[in-house]
Amino acid sequence: MADETWIPPPLPATWLRRLVEAMTDDAGEDGQRTLNELDASLDQLSKGALRPEDCRAFWHEKQPVLSRYFELVASVIESFGPPDPSAVAEEWKRMTDRSFRDEGVRGALRGAYERLTEFDAPLAGPTGPEIRAAIESLHGTVSPLREVLLRRSDLFVAMLLGRHIPAEKVSAYRSLLVDLSNGYDQARGECLTSLYLSLGRWKGGGARPAERAIWGLFGSSAIRYVLDRARPETDLDRLDAISELLIKRWPESAGATLAALGEALSTAVDAQLELLIVRALRWVDPSALAPRIERALFERLLLAAMSGDDADVREAAARALVAWLGAEAAEPLRVRLSVEPDDDVREALLELFASVASESAA
Amino acid sequence: MWLLRIARRGNWSSGSAADAAKDLEPRREAVIVEDVSVFRVESEREAADVATVRVATQRRPSAVDYVLLPDDVVRALCEVAHRPQPASHPLLADRHYEILGLADAARVRCLAERLLEVGVTATRIKERDLRDAVLARLDSDPDLLRLLKPGWQ
């Protein structure tokens, strides 16, 4: 066989930085699926004779898949913060400071970021040794991704620079992709846990809001994670902070919020989560919901919450309904008033009813 | 008396120590367990003021429940340490203390039982009353205006 290697085209060097940053990314299930597709294809390929034309055909076939994977990562990086590099660097520093307690780890991550930002211009600057040095500068971190990169750095460098990958290393290349995926999944979980636990911290030297960091790093999947994790939550400061997160990230969080509210209402054991969501809904703009069906579903859920077992949830639902419907809330309020058993809730309902009635009259 | 950071009325009305204990449990961040925040108050009126300012500077409007813990009951079971919070509203900053040792679940349960025995219950400030109280303070309290959370104005 004249040529036993295949030659993927070079990838922009910015992708390296994005991939390293992807240890805290939002690729999640989509990224895993893409890597699984690549894995299956490489497996198939490695069983046959690796002729150059096969390799090129494989690349042409799979290149869109690989691009999609990197695009997925890139979309998260773009939501990371403003395009100003210094602001992104600052955000990176804050994120690492918050996520890793050990100062050595934090220093290594900051150093790695500084090295990687030097590779901004696609293909202009990076060389194999530089990339290897950047990966090695992650040494000492707890990132499982770093372990993967170091262990397979020769393949990774070849992949990024478009160098020949010998046929006998195709299976190693395949497992590199899988390991990368597993690595950042682990790191992602670690960071999300750390950020969740810091939500609502209001005292002590380290007090600062984590909401922006959570959203910036993990996008809408962070909302799903936070809502799932909040089910058994008892810390009131943390619950308030989660409520604030839903308000600030509305309407991007609407889908996850809708699903969580529906589940909380149907299971009837999540009054705390139900109250958290219903209270948040009072402060969001319902018109920002694009599909009308979502708005209608939320209204139905609020009406259901207004008839629930928990008095605080009923009052919160009534307030949210008034915020959403204005004068149109008069009728459901009137109906609820006729059966409401709790004195405090009745008083609140009367007050709300009077306010919407006067609004209607005006 | 000690005003426990915001509580839940339902946890103190059931008569169950297990429920009351939920509001005494410390906040946990992985292996770190924070001591439980309380504010020193001399009267029920002062407690209402502290609760009002605490809520207005830390969360959006909604009814608030709080619990007053008798000093002798708390000190019989736990130590209390003065931990000023200078970044908080002046009414809160120097009144901030922490109850130590509540990482121990048995001690939390014991404290909850004792508090229920002496008749501790939660006090609620309704949202309308809370809003009136905040509005009444705003003219003469520039710090409150500066630290006010969204939704109050």
Contact (CB<8Å) B126/A316: no
Residues from chain B that touch A240, judged by Cβ atoms under 8 A, are 58-59
% of chain A beyond a pLDDT of 70: 41
The identity of residue A63, as a single letter, is Q
How confident is the model over A256-286, as pLDDT tens digits? 888 888 888 888 667 888 999 999 999 998 8
Q: Which two tokens stand for residue A95?
A: 């994120």
Distance from the first to the final alpha carbon of chain B: 31
For the residues A183-198, what does the mean pLDDT come to?
66
pLDDT at B118 over 70: yes
Could you tell me which residue, A191 or B29, shows the higher pLDDT?
B29
| CB A94, CB A206: distance < 8 Å | no
**A316 vs B contacts (CB less than 8 Å):** 62
Mean per-residue pLDDT over chain A, rounded: 65
Nearest to B37 among A193, A203, A247 (CB): A203
DSSP string computed for A17-55: HHHHHGGG-S-HHHHHHHHHHHHHHHHHHHHS---HHHH
Q: What is the pLDDT of residues A135-154, one digit of tens each?
A: 444 433 334 555 555 555 55
Mutate to test the interface with A, among B14, B29, B58 (most CBs of A within 10 A): B29
Put simply, whether the predicted model's pTM sits higher than 0.80 gets the answer: no
Instruction: Kindly write down the DSSP assignment for every residue of chain B, as one continuous string.
Output: -EEEEEE-HHHHHS--HHHHHHTTSPPEETTEEPPEEEEE-SSHHHHHHHHHHHHHHHS-S--EEEEEEPHHHHHHH--EEE---TTS-HHHHTTEEEE--TTSHHHHHHHHHHHHHTT--EEEE-HHHHHHHHHHHHTT-HHHHHHPPTT--
Which residues of A have a CB under 8 Å from any CB of B? 193-194, 197-198, 200-204, 207, 234-238, 240, 243-244, 247, 279, 283, 312, 315-316, 319, 344, 347-348, 351
pLDDT in tens, B44-97: 999 999 999 999 998 999 999 999 999 999 999 999 999 998 889 999 999 999
Q: Do A344 and B124 touch (CB under 8 A)?
A: yes
Neighbouring residues of B78: CB distance < 8 A, sequence distance ≥ 6:
B99, B100, B101, B102, B107, B111
B103 contacts on A by Cβ (under 8 Å): none
Is pLDDT at A120 greater than 70 in this prediction? no
Q: Looking at beta carbons, which residues of chain B come within 8 Å of A204? A: 34
CB A95 within 8 Å of CB A217: yes
What is the pLDDT at residue A185? Answer: 59
A193 to B28: CB separation less than 8 angstroms, yes or no: no
Least CB–CB distance from B6: residue in A203, A236, A279: A236
> Cα dist. A187→A191, A194, B90 in Å?
6, 11, 41
Query: Which pLDDT does position A40 carry in this prediction?
Result: 52
Return the number of other C-beta atoms located less than 10 Å from residue A267's C-beta: 11
Please state the rounded mean pLDDT for residues B121-136.
93
Q: What is the pLDDT of residue B50?
A: 95
Q: pLDDT grade, residue A297 (50/70/90)?
A: confident
Three-class SS of A138-189: CCCCCCHHHHHHHHCHHHHHHHHHCCCEEHHHHHHHHHHHHHHHHHHHHHHH
Task: Please report the pLDDT score of residue A36 as a whole number.
Answer: 52
Q: Which of B28, B60, B128 sits opposite A351 (nearest CB)?
A: B128
pLDDT at residue A202 is higher than 50: yes
Residue whose token pair is 């992949």: A159
Rounded to 5 degrees, φ, ψ at B78 are -140, 165
Cα B10 to its chain centre, rounded Å, is: 15
Cβ atoms < 10 Å from Cβ of A29: 9
Question: Using the beta-carbon criterion (under 8 Å), do A198 and B29 form an inter-chain contact?
Answer: yes
Which residues are paired to B82 by β-bridges? B97
Across residues A62-79, what is the average pLDDT?
42
